């Protein structure tokens, strides 16, 4: 009996010790951290088509967490570069490719004050901004430098063509067709640069950087010295690169834009009538999703914006090919083709639809792969290009 009691007490003691060890181990281990939301959640119902972009994004101290400056600075740099390109015809000026290259890279204080009815640029502010166009151009691509250098070659071609701004263009000779400056092959280089940057800068950065892998940026801590997270700021940069306005396309109808928009923002309205009015609320709703740590909703809005921007680019390319066919003068056809070629170049950044450089280049070669460029275009060449774009983008 004593032996049995001893064994029983020993077993009980062992179990108590074992339980004590487990209990002590649990007590000593810290509880897993609970992820605290950085922001108070925002009701999606607060997002309307007229909600100003920054209005909902206020921190606990009442300070805005949305910062559009870097995106807006780049937008104004694009405006300034485009304004300089226009001076060839506007002022009969001979352009300097080095000036264009410096504006592209924000090197050597290249920006000057510009004040028109549609542009307001303070040169000193852009020079000191610390941002540039070149580093963002084609930045989603491993071959980014190839695209940047291609644009810089167009700067040289634009400068060369500008020397003939007072001449009348003809096959093999640069000059003006109507009010448009073209090179010896009849190509309006200014349009190639402008529409090329719509794709390589705006579309690529917004769609293929911010709204693709950029969605994985940190959203749990504030950027040092700032009031926003990295993910919040990425989204703000994208909006700021699309428009300078608090409400993108405010007051626009199908018949009239009624809003001062340029570049990609203008062509979304012109060539995507079905969805242009949904772009602004999608941007705001995506930013709310970031505040709410709602990755599924963020992805939904990003995919929508990307898809509709690509549709606008492809539809613009088709539209200008059609305008070549309907043009009644060489000037009208050359202008349409210049814009169309720039948008066709930009198709290489339409990755949602599976387009790439090979697709884009094949169409460009089909159109221009002959000695006289524009002057050698035919209905068959235009039709082949249009069919390829229509099929790829299911338009």
How many domains, in total, are found in the chain?
A: 1
> How far is CA 286 from its chain centroid?
15
Q: Other CB atoms closer than 10 Å to residue 232's CB: what's the count?
A: 25
Q: Which residue has the tokens 């007590």?
A: 27
Query: What confidence tens digit (pLDDT) does each residue in 225-280 have?
Result: 999 999 999 999 999 999 999 999 999 999 999 999 999 999 999 999 999 999 99
- Tens of pLDDT, residues 69-96: 999 999 999 999 999 999 999 999 999 9
The SS3 of residue 120 is strand
pLDDT digits (tens, 9 = 90+) for 316-346: 999 999 999 999 999 999 999 999 999 999 9
Does any domain span residue 22? no
Q: How confident is the model at residue 14 (pLDDT cuts 50, 70, 90)?
A: very low
Q: % helix / strand / coil in the chain, to the nearest 5? A: 60, 5, 35
Any domain includes 38: no
User: Which residues 6+ apart lie within 8 Å of 215 measured at CB?
Assistant: 231, 295, 298, 299, 302
Residue span of the structural domain in which 265 resides: 44-393
Residue pair 351/279 in contact by the 8 Å Cβ criterion:
no
Distance CA 243, CA 266 (A): 9
With a cut of 80, say whether residue 8 has pLDDT above it.
Answer: no
Buried/exposed code over 170-208 (b: 16+ C-beta within 10 A; e: otherwise): eeeebbbbeebbbbbbbbbbbbbbbbbbbbbbbbbbbbb
Task: Determine, yes or no, domain membership for 127.
Answer: yes
Mean pLDDT of the chain: 92
pLDDT for the residue 157: 98
pLDDT at 30: 56
pLDDT at 205 over 60: yes
Q: What are phi and psi of 222, to 5 degrees?
A: -75, 145
The model carries a pTM of 0.90
Confirm whether 34 is domain-assigned.
no
For residue 35, tell me if it sits in a domain.
no
- Percent share of the chain, pLDDT over 90: 90
For 28, how many CA atoms within 13 A lie in the half-sphere containing its CB? 6
Say if residue 355's pLDDT is above 70: yes
Provide mean pLDDT across the span 41-61: 96
User: Quick check: 208 and 140 in contact, CB under 8 A?
Assistant: yes
Q: Are strands 175-177 and 120-121 parallel, antiparallel or unpaired?
A: unpaired
With a pLDDT cut of 70, the percent of the chain lying above it is 91
The reply to whether 18 falls in a domain is: no
Do the domain assignments include residue 202?
Answer: yes
Report the C-alpha gap between 379 and 369 in whole angstroms. Answer: 15
The string of pLDDT tens digits covering residues 193-202 is 999 999 999 9
Q: Do 378 and 369 contact (CB within 8 A), yes or no? A: no
Show contacts of 36-42: CB within 8 Å, 24+ apart. 37/292, 37/293, 38/219, 38/220, 38/221, 38/222, 38/229, 39/65, 39/291, 39/292, 41/291, 41/292, 42/288, 42/291, 42/292
Report the chain's terminal Cα–Cα distance, integer Å. Answer: 93
Q: Is residue 102 part of a domain?
A: yes
What 3-state class would DSSP assign to 121? strand
Torsion of CA 347, 208, 298, 289, to 10 degrees: -120
């Amino acid at each position: 009996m004593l032996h049995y009691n001893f064994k029983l007490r020993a077993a009980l003691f062992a179990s108590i010790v074992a339980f004590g060890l487990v209990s002590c181990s649990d007590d000593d281990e810290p509880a897993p951290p609970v992820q605290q939301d950085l922001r108070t959640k925002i009701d999606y119902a607060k997002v309307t088509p007229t909600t100003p972009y920054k209005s909902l994004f206020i921190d606990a101290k009442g300070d805005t967490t949305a910062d559009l400056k870097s995106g807006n600075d780049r937008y104004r740099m694009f405006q300034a570069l485009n304004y300089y390109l226009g001076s060839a015809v506007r002022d009969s000026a001979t352009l300097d490719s080095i000036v264009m290259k410096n504006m592209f890279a924000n090197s050597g204080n290249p920006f000057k004050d510009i004040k028109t009815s549609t542009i307001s640029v303070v040169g000193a502010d852009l020079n000191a901004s610390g941002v540039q166009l070149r580093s963002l151009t084609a930045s989603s691509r491993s071959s980014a430098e190839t695209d940047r250098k291609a644009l810089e070659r167009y700067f040289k071609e634009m400068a060369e063509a500008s020397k003939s701004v007072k001449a009348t263009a003809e096959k093999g000779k640069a000059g003006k067709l109507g009010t448009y400056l073209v090179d010896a092959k009849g190509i309006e280089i200014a349009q190639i640069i402008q529409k090329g940057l719509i794709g390589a800068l705006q579309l690529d950065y917004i769609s293929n950087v911010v709204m693709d892998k950029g969605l994985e940026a940190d959203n749990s801590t504030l950027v040092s010295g700032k009031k926003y997270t990295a993910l919040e700021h990425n989204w703000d940069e994208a909006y700021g690169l699309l428009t300078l306005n608090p409400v993108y396309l405010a007051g626009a109808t199908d018949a009239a834009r009624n809003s001062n928009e340029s570049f990609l923002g203008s062509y979304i309205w012109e060539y995507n009538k079905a969805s242009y009015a949904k772009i602004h609320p999608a941007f705001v709703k995506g930013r709310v999703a970031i505040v709410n740590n709602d990755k599924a909703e963020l992805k939904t809005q990003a995919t929508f914006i990307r898809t509709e921007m690509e549709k606008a680019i492809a539809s613009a390319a088709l539209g200008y090919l059609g305008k070549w066919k309907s043009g009644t003068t060489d000037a009208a056809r050359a202008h349409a083709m210049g814009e169309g070629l720039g948008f066709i170049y930009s198709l290489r950044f339409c990755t949602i639809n599976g387009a790439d450089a090979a697709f884009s280049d094949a169409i460009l070669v089909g159109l221009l792969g002959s000695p006289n460029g524009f002057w050698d275009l035919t209905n068959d060449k235009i039709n082949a290009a249009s069919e390829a774009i229509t099929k790829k983008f299911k338009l």
